[in-house]
Chains A and B, each alone.
Chain A
Amino acid sequence: MKKRLSALPLAIMGASLALGIASNAHAAPSTFVYCSEGSPEGFNPSLYTSGTTFDASSKNMFNRLLEFKLGTTQTEPGLATSYTVSDDGLEYIFKLRKGVKFHTSKTFTPTRDFNADDVIFSFARQWDKNHPYHKVSNGSYEYFTGMGMDTLIKEIVRVDDYTVKFVLNYPEAPFLANLAMDFASIFSAEQADMLMKKGTPEQLDIDPVATGPFQKVQYRKDSVIRYTAFEDYWKGKPAIDRLVFSITPDASVRYAKLKAGECHMMPYPNPADLEKMAQDKDINLMSQEGLNVGYLAFNTKKKPFTDAKVRQALNLATNKQAIIDAVFQGAGKIAKNPIPPTMWSYNDKVVDYNYDPVKAKQLLKEAGYENGFTTNIWAMPVQRPYNPNARRMAEVIQEDWAKVGVKAEIVSYEWGEYLNRSKKGEHETVLLGWTGDNGDPDNFLYVLLGCDAVGGSNRAQWCNKEFNDLLVKAKQTSDQATRTKYYEEAQLVFKREAPWITTAHSIVYEPVRKEVEGFVIDPLGGHYFSNVSLKK
């Protein structure tokens, strides 16, 4: 029997040798291989919302008027070289960069450089419902509308070839950060016109040209995306000649490929593999706190959570360290504020509710719940960086609460149902989280806790005038120092009123092979490769 079994490996070896396979051949030095986690939904970043799509399109193919400075959430000039804001905060005038070239594809060769027409096209398509491109590819621009750009923008004016003016309906400081987001990527109006005339406008969303560091050469769904470095890139040609996304959905397989040298970098490792990766001499395990927050929201419209004392008591009754140990396996950090520590205006002076069941019982007694009460904890059915195992987290919290007399039943629904029902406030307490879009505190605080978001993404259904007024004031001024003060104060109000238990911020790990140089972790979760090079 032994003899027969050993035939299998021999057969494989024979076949491999006979074919002369350089099986784990390392890619040529100037080819950078990224083992991505899935297929992009498409190549027009304004039509989609997933990070996988952004990595494959906006992050590496496109540019925007303003861009996030690599490794930070601060914006810097992109295709706009400068801008001025009117005193009332309603007019933004952008000066555009000259001499910027577009890629050339098999079907399109640009005849002119980037100019104001491209900016107008890229925004008007999303904003103007009568634009000829608005309905192309089922045109739904979820991020554009989600960030309120459709109601915010009053007019987009072409001042001259290299000047564009945006007129707003009301002052909104986060507007600038929005312009650096993926949906605001700039397309070639010339290519769009050409395709419209040809009668194939939807090709623009499949095979667009752009101004970014890499141009797409080939895409095979669920298999591979190939790019070449753009020779005429306005910031200079990237160090690598070719960029390949090898689509590998399973994290253990991505790790195997990284070890075998079939890729240079992989995202989203399994938490269980981190320790081995850290010890691997070929792998550089980079890490940084993610721009996200996990939380448990109390439904403040339902008793007993209408009473701040009850919410404070359950905050005190929850052992967050136990959650981090049980659920995150080292990939998380206790959260005390609703915004992550890497974000500007994070208030480190806020004092968290430290685990204290005795004090919690005392508070419950004061609130009239000496004998506790029964409630529910909703646990998400999906895995997220801010909550890798919601069920387990709910169990830990359930145990903690039981110690102060609060009996909680764990409830879960299919993901779409879960989101929908919790939006309507059917829960008593719900586990959820958020990942930042544009690095602006407004994108956490107002979106998740503002009065306008009740019945929507404000799962605590919490509308506090003092807190909300501070956020509105911060929206209306463009001076960052003043805004910081408002947000710091708002965080103090938040902690005092305790509409949530802030559970954790995740730690993002990016395993990269040792020969890779220049990769920088993006706090917004993207993967940029224009600065990457390979040691020979």
Chain B
Amino acid sequence: MFQFIIKRLSLVIPTFIGITLLTFTLIHLIPGDPIEVMAGERGVSAERHAELSAQLGLDQPLYIQYFRYLNDVLHGDLGTSLITKTPVVSEFLTLFPATIELAFCATLFAIFIGLPAGIIAAIRRGTLFDHSVMTVSLTGYSMPIFWWALLLMLVFSVNLGWTPVSGRIDVVYWIDDVTGFMLIDTLLSGEKGAFSSAIAHLILPSIVLGTIPMAVIARMTRSSMLEILNEDYIRTARSKGIAPWRVIMVHALRNALIPIITVIGLQIGILLSGAILTETVFAWPGIGKWLIESIGRRDYPVVQGGILIVATIIIVVNLLVDIAYGIVNPRIRHSR
């Protein structure tokens, strides 16, 4: 197992270098000058432009800029935003807890609905329930997020008034920033009603963000379960008189889980890298919106640093998934 993890880790270094090179090249390939974008219609004089370029280090040849950047990264410095003049890492750390919180709740929603729906659909294959689950999950998978979010918001927040429209907590609560996780900070604050307000604000964004992963998980669970349920050992288990729920939950599900874990892992990676549309609609202060805005403003340090951190997270999640396979299925860890 140890060797297996080392092997996986050794692949990470070239991946990192590749990512820094790729983001650096891509963001510099897009036409557009951060100074011009900053100045807008007002513009800056040629002298001022040169002065600012020198100040921001943009006057150097690209390869020098790249090596400077790489050097800074290796020293743990991801740079400072050109726009807000705040270090990229501290901006990331302010916003990331909100992304984690939302990704966590969306994943919970996706697993708690998707997994049982997939299992039941597989057991009752061909029934009305099965068809319904598949139709609903296909619809969920192809749902335009922006539209879905606005629809839920109009129905549940504006018309029915059950859930708040957007934000992380009601404005009447003035909660101090301790951990950045609203659910924890509200508990720490001890303010009455603050925690339930934070939960209420999570309901709609979690459903919206969890819809696609839920659909994917449901479909994957169904097909994986169907395959396993046709195996000989399942028939044997049944013929031995083992309780039907035990056959499904213990004998079938455990083996069906491998592809499902892969899918869940991939989905978590995607969710953690920020959900641009969901974050925009629900005014959720996460990293997806932050990155997109920075690309628009050509805020090079934020784009480079932000993507590097996000890529790291995805790599780590994938690594954990790989290790989880090893645990679930010994054949995988021994064959490598």
Interface residues of A (CB under 8 A from B): 1, 4-5, 8-9, 12-13, 15-16, 19-25, 27-28, 31, 33, 41-42, 47, 49, 137-138, 140, 142, 145-146, 202, 205, 217-218, 220-224, 226, 244, 246-250, 252-253, 256-257, 259-260, 262, 413-417, 419-420, 423, 432-435, 456-457
Instruction: Determine whether B250 belongs to the interface, using a CB cutoff of 8 Å to chain A.
Output: no
Q: Which residues of chain A are near B191, meaning CB under 8 Å?
A: none
Show 5 residue pairs from A and B whose CB-CB distance is below 8 angstroms, ordered by the A residue. A41-B83, A140-B55, A221-B91, A256-B153, A262-B167
Name the contact of B41 in the complex, choosing from A247, A253, A432 (C-beta under 8 A).
A432
**B31 engages A31 (CB within 8 Å):** no
Name the contact of B285 in the complex, choosing from A15, A19, A221, A432 (C-beta under 8 A).
A221
Query: Given known contacts A12-B163, A27-B172, is B196 in contact with A260 (CB within 8 Å)?
Result: no
> Which residue of B has the minimal Cβ distance to A147?
B42
Instruction: Determine whether B197 belongs to the interface, using a CB cutoff of 8 Å to chain A.
Output: yes
Instruction: Determine whether B128 belongs to the interface, using a CB cutoff of 8 Å to chain A.
Output: yes
Instruction: Determine whether B269 belongs to the interface, using a CB cutoff of 8 Å to chain A.
Output: no
**B162 engages A12 (CB within 8 Å):** yes
Instruction: Determine whether B132 belongs to the interface, using a CB cutoff of 8 Å to chain A.
Output: yes
Chain B: interface secondary structure?
Answer: helix
Query: Given known contacts A217-B174, A419-B41, is B132 in contact with A1 (CB within 8 Å)?
Result: yes
Chain A: interface secondary structure?
Answer: mixed
**A250 engages B280 (CB within 8 Å):** yes
Q: Which residues of chain A are near B163, meaning CB under 8 Å?
A: 12, 16, 21, 23
Query: Given known contacts A253-B283, A257-B166, is B200 in contact with A16 (CB within 8 Å)?
Result: yes
Q: Which residues of chain B are near A262, meaning CB under 8 Å?
A: 164-167, 171
Name the contact of A222 in the complex, choosing from B37, B174, B289 (C-beta under 8 A).
B289
> Which residue of B has the minimal Cβ distance to A38?
B293
**A221 engages B85 (CB within 8 Å):** no
**A145 engages B285 (CB within 8 Å):** no
How far, in Å, is A165 (CB) from chain B's closest CB? 28
Interface residues of B (CB under 8 A from A): 30-34, 36-45, 48, 52, 55-56, 80, 83-86, 91, 94-95, 98, 128-129, 132, 135-136, 150, 153-158, 160-168, 170-172, 174, 176-177, 193, 196-197, 199-200, 203-204, 207, 280-283, 285-286, 289-290, 298
How far, in Å, is A106 (CB) from chain B's closest CB? 11
**B83 engages A260 (CB within 8 Å):** no
> How far is it, in angstroms, between the C-alpha of A314 and the C-alpha of B174 when the chains are bound?
58
> How far is it, in angstroms, between the C-alpha of A145 and the C-alpha of B52 when the chains are bound?
12
Q: Which residues of chain A are near B86, meaning CB under 8 Å?
A: 42
Name the contact of A21 in the complex, choosing from B44, B136, B196, B290 (C-beta under 8 A).
B196
> Which residue of B has the minimal Cβ distance to A25?
B170
Q: Which residues of chain A are near B154, meaning CB under 8 Å?
A: 256
**B158 engages A419 (CB within 8 Å):** no
> How far is it, in angstroms, between the C-alpha of A416 and the C-alpha of B291 when the chains are bound?
18
**B171 engages A23 (CB within 8 Å):** no
Question: What are the 4 closest A-B residue pairs judged by CB atoms, nearest first?
Answer: A222-B285, A416-B32, A416-B36, A223-B285
> Which residue of A has the minimal Cβ distance to B98?
A223
Q: Which residues of chain A are near B135, meaning CB under 8 Å?
A: 1
> Which residue of A has the minimal Cβ distance to B199?
A19
Query: Given known contacts A253-B153, A260-B158, is B196 in contact with A20 (CB within 8 Å)?
Result: yes
**A21 engages B197 (CB within 8 Å):** yes
**A142 engages B42 (CB within 8 Å):** yes
**B285 engages A244 (CB within 8 Å):** no
**A256 engages B158 (CB within 8 Å):** yes
**A220 engages B85 (CB within 8 Å):** no
> How far is it, in angstroms, between the C-alpha of A458 and the C-alpha of B35 when the chains are bound?
19
Name the contact of A12 in the complex, choosing from B168, B203, B289, B290 (C-beta under 8 A).
B203
Kindly list 17 other residue pairs between chains A and B, CB separation below 8 angstroms, not including A16-B163, A253-B165: A4-B132, A12-B207, A19-B200, A20-B193, A31-B171, A49-B42, A146-B39, A217-B174, A221-B94, A222-B283, A222-B289, A246-B171, A247-B285, A262-B165, A415-B32, A416-B33, A420-B33
> How far is it, in angstroms, between the C-alpha of A220 and the C-alpha of B199 when the chains are bound?
19
**B44 engages A146 (CB within 8 Å):** yes
> How far is it, in angstroms, between the C-alpha of A324 and the C-alpha of B30 when the chains are bound?
33
**B200 engages A23 (CB within 8 Å):** yes
**B170 engages A222 (CB within 8 Å):** no
**B174 engages A16 (CB within 8 Å):** no
**A249 engages B280 (CB within 8 Å):** yes
> How far is it, in angstroms, between the C-alpha of A41 and the C-alpha of B165 when the chains are bound?
25
Q: Which residues of chain A are near B281, meaning CB under 8 Å?
A: 250, 253
> Which residue of B has the minimal Cβ distance to A21?
B200
Query: Given known contacts A9-B156, A22-B193, A41-B84, is B37 in contact with A415 (CB within 8 Å)?
Result: yes
**B42 engages A146 (CB within 8 Å):** yes
> How far is it, in angstroms, between the C-alpha of A21 and the C-alpha of B150 when the chains are bound?
21
> How far is it, in angstroms, between the C-alpha of A433 and the C-alpha of B42 when the chains are bound?
10
> Which residue of A has the minimal Cβ distance to B109?
A11
Q: Which residues of chain A are near B44, meaning CB under 8 Å?
A: 142, 146
Of B32, B42, B136, the most chain A CB neighbours within 10 A belong to B42
How far, in Å, is B172 (CB) from chain A's closest CB? 6
Q: Which residues of chain A are near B33, meaning CB under 8 Å?
A: 416-417, 420
Q: Which residues of chain A are near B83, meaning CB under 8 Å?
A: 41
Q: Which residues of chain A are near B32, meaning CB under 8 Å?
A: 414-417
Q: Which residues of chain A are near B40, meaning CB under 8 Å?
A: 49, 419
> Which residue of B has the minimal Cβ distance to A448?
B41
**B170 engages A253 (CB within 8 Å):** no
How far, in Å, is B284 (CB) from chain A's closest CB? 8
How far, in Å, is B2 (CB) from chain A's closest CB? 41
Query: Given known contacts A248-B283, A253-B165, A456-B45, is B203 in contact with A221 (CB within 8 Å)?
Result: no
How far, in Å, is B173 (CB) from chain A's closest CB? 10
> Which residue of A has the minimal Cβ distance to B133?
A4
> How far is it, in angstroms, between the C-alpha of A202 and the C-alpha of B42 when the chains are bound?
26
**A223 engages B167 (CB within 8 Å):** yes
> How far is it, in angstroms, between the C-alpha of A4 and the C-alpha of B84 when the chains are bound?
48
**A16 engages B41 (CB within 8 Å):** no
**B34 engages A13 (CB within 8 Å):** no
Name the contact of B85 in the complex, choosing from A47, A142, A252 (C-beta under 8 A).
A47
Q: Which residues of chain B are near A217, meaning CB under 8 Å?
A: 174
Query: Given known contacts A42-B85, A146-B44, A433-B41, is B174 in contact with A23 (CB within 8 Å)?
Result: no
Of B161, B171, B207, B280, the most chain A CB neighbours within 10 A belong to B171
